[in-house]
Amino acid sequence: MAVADLRKLGKRGSYRLGARRLDSGDVPRRSGRAGRAGSAPRALRAPVFGPPPARTRYGPWLAVLVAGAVVIAVAAEFGLWFVPFIAGVVAGVAARREGWGLRRVLPGIIVMAAAGWGIPLLWQMVHGQPAGATARVIAALAGLPPHAAVGVAVTLLLAILQAVVGVWLGRAITPRPSR
């Protein structure tokens, strides 16, 4: 530590922690000038150690989520039960390459897998096919309570589990991006 740094210890404004934030209606102060008369003191921000958070654009994120759910739903109609896993691997690879964290990827892939399998099941029930009876039988054969809701819930949970494991594998096989 340099001697100049030692002189800064304990001095106000030396460390730039907690930049000032303007409350609504406050006028920014310039050095040597006072703010509006009667205004409350401005609140300090909490110190942030690390890069500033990136702004998430929800338009493309939502479009990819809907497109992935549609792909999973169409594949489920053709009996391709493993497509949530493939979607998870693709999402994991893309997330690693873009530098996205799991907080950004997991909610999307969970919704994508649940909607991708839930839409075909709902579609079958609405059109009078015996999806509820089939779900009851499958639940009973699996040793679970013989209720249609249990069968559907287990099906959706398995799709979500496949997608989450796919994200894990996709992130594991992709090298970290070089900065």
The pLDDT tens digits of the residues spanning 21-42 come to 544 554 555 544 455 555 666 6
Q: How far is CA 121 from CA 29, 74, 86, 114, 157, in A?
A: 60, 12, 20, 11, 13
In the chain, the N- to C-terminal Cα span, in Å, equals: 29
β-partners of residue 44 are 20
Domain containing 136 equals 58-173
The stretch 65-94 carries a mean pLDDT of: 94
Query: Domains in the chain: how many in total?
Result: 1
> Does residue 11 lie in a domain region?
no
> Does residue 125 lie in a domain region?
yes
Asked whether the whole model's pTM tops 0.85, one would answer no
pLDDT band at 138 (very low <50, low <70, confident <90, very high): confident
Sign of the Cα torsion 44, 49, 56, 67 reads negative
> Does residue 169 lie in a domain region?
yes
